[in-house]
Structure 1
């Protein structure tokens, strides 16, 4: 969206048209909808803009729930925006630290600022992109204690502000296409600036979960967060926002429940051994936080092979930090023999899980020529360095 499109969207006609549209339906005849709106006299550019916003609002419900129906978005801004539930956790951390005024530097469309304002924190939000800053201002209009600036993070006066939150831009949009920035050195604002602020005030920084761990300051708390099995962010907390004695944390959110595994440092891997009657796949946040060893020792488990994130045990255990499988049978690791074994069991639907083996599950599934009315799950991995294929069932 460019500046002219935003001005048109923010006009009374534009907002009435957007709010009056029916809920976005991906199966609807978009050409018919455009024609109808054009016959009603709406300019073609405005029609395209409001339909794009309607689509983004529908997509945003996964992150913002009902709030999405009254917000505006950019494609890149929505992609990077924090889920409202996680943003509430960020806001709560500032509040518990006694910080009442937060600088949200690089606020994007305003998701984190919204959560902060909702618990009555004062927020100075800044966004370098003019269109995105205007959208953030619109989204944050209901909150009187929020000021939105069109400014670079580096240029925001911080006098009287108690702490800073930064979500450096990790995506860029060119020619209507949004792409992820792979090199942390190209983030905006830079990580040097973000972490350097910690010399002046408590700081929290949101990064992608796959960020190179070498960039994490030694005195920071690094918390990886997963929601319903997907690792969504790495939060780096400095100063009084970092919890004493915690340098690594894995926060697992599933439904309404949240569980956390914490440690003072990366945990030492558990010993390796033969695969037992049960196999466990740690949550991605536990893997990213390198707390697999602690998880294993807490549950009497061991690693199936060095460097591979599967745990195994002879007795079942329940943990919010791992998905468990009962090992039913060992199958041949050789592809031809594996195909014969699955055909003999009349497996027509197959879930393939793998770690430590260079296999494309989709391509392998095609080559296996599955036929039958049975469904199954197999795990392709290594046991003490050797390739194995396991027939398993989820616990």
Structure 2
């Protein structure tokens, strides 16, 4: 459990004395090796305020990799974990440019910060008075008020919501277990322009949703899905994958793209599509856009004779019917000393399999284990870097 901040704590941390104290605590290493000595030093100087100061400094350090300008923010560790990364929030904000936007679950203000300067007017509300006070410090240009997300307090605004995805301390994919519950949120704002952040593992086909579902990844990791009402969606688009990069590169693909791909034997390369493409159900659309095709129509691995720009590929050296013995013999013949194992459609655990391959060489290779039809297949590959 983290420190339980109060409104008085937020007031102190935002004061000149609090800023000075945070600066002094931030000079401490605060690692596992030094934690006890550092906290003892802080207690001799700041007494009962030590816990809030240490928590804030550690949360800021964690947030620095995720949120722009977080070195000066007031926040909690839990809020940092839940906050939308700045790159993802900026991506959503561009879709809402020029609108009057109301974030009804604003927390410490991560979405608000991205919207300010892009949206026409930015409003934030939350039931948590402490997080709302932190948001007021972090994003002073936003208009803030305390309100329940399920009790609308604005009209004519575009609503943004990020229901908490933890229930009983555990992450949940059940829409009814979110806070506030997703079905209730959709019902309350039915007919309004709405963008709702959701877990990417949710079963979107089971939702009563006639707008767009966008799945977003950042630097190779799937971060979220977002439901966009029809007025915020591109006409005719029901599914979108947004593949974002911290360096500004990336791409988007939607179900409006062609998904006609050939049925051919494996090409020279195997490509493992980005997780956002897979979760959005747009593997065939991505393949068609890049001249690729599937190894098997039920498996997400793609193949082709060239690798799309900026994508990691695996050049096929050998293809064999998969058995552990056959794979071990092939890797030994190729003098493999270390192996990366990718698996789809085959019951194999890379962590269990790797030591049983008894590698003795010095060549790094990759193995793609999958299924073509009913046959388990192993592709021994040389990866791009």
Count of residues paired in the alignment? 378
Structure 2 CA distance for aligned equivalents of residues 184 and 364 of structure 1 = 36
Change in Cα spacing, 1:249 to 1:309, as seen in structure 2 (3 Å) is: same
1:316 — aligned with what? 306
Structure 1 length as normaliser, TM-score?
0.87
User: In structure 1, what is the equivalent of residue 243 of structure 2?
Assistant: 252
SS in 1 for 2:46: coil
Deviation at 1:28, TM superposition (A): 5.0
Q: Which residue of 2 aligns with 1:169?
A: 164
Could you tell me how far apart the structure 1 residues matched to 2:132 and 2:46 are?
A: 26
**Greater CA drift, 114-123 or 241-250:** 114-123
Q: How far does residue 289 in structure 1 lie from its aligned partner after superposition?
A: 1.4
Distance 1:342 1:332, change over 3 A: farther
Aligned match for 2:77, one of 62, 65, 75: 75
The structural deviation recorded for 1:24 is 5.4
Match of 1:152 among 123, 148, 151: 148
Does residue 7 of structure 1 match 2:2?
A: no
Change (3 A) 1:323 1:269: farther
Note the C-alpha offset of 1:105: 0.9
Q: Are the structure 2 counterparts of residues 342 and 239 from structure 1 closer, same or farther at C-alpha, using a change threshold of 3 Å?
A: closer
Q: 1:238 to 1:198 in 2, by over 3 A?
A: farther
Q: Residue 195 of structure 2 contacts residue 227 of structure 2 at CA under 8 Å; is this kept in 1?
A: yes
Summarize deviations over 1:289-348 as a string: whole Å, max 9, x none. 1111122233333221231101122x214255x532210112562213322332343322
Name structure 2 gaps, 5 residues minimum: none
1:107 Cα shift? 1.2
Give the direction of change, closer, same or farther, for the CA distance of 1:309–1:300 in structure 2 (3 Å limit). same
Cα pair distance change 1:6/1:391, threshold 3 Å: farther
Note the aligned Cα RMSD (angstroms). 2.5
Structure 1 stretches of at least 4 aligned residues deviating more than 4 Å after TM superposition: 1-6, 215-218, 267-273
Q: Secondary structure at the match of 2:80?
A: helix
Give how far 1:42 is off.
Answer: 1.4
Q: Which runs of 5+ in 1 are unaligned?
A: none
- Measure the CA separation in 1 of the matches of 2:149 and 2:52: 28
Show the counterpart of 1:64. 67
1:37 aligns with 2:50: no
Give the 3 Å change call, closer, same or farther, for CA 239–382 of structure 1 in structure 2. closer
Question: After superposition, what is the alpha-carbon deviation per residue over 1:134-159, rounded to whole angstroms, capped at 9, x for unaligned?
Answer: 32222223x1xx22223211224113
1:348 aligns with 2:315: no
Q: Which stretch of the first structure deviates more once superposed, 330-339 or 74-83?
A: 330-339
Q: TM-score, normalised by structure 2?
A: 0.89
Could you tell me which residue of structure 2 aligns to residue 357 of structure 1?
346
Contact 1:332-1:389 within 8 A present in 2 as well: yes
CA distance in 2, matches of 1:61, 1:116: 19
Aligned to 2:94: 92
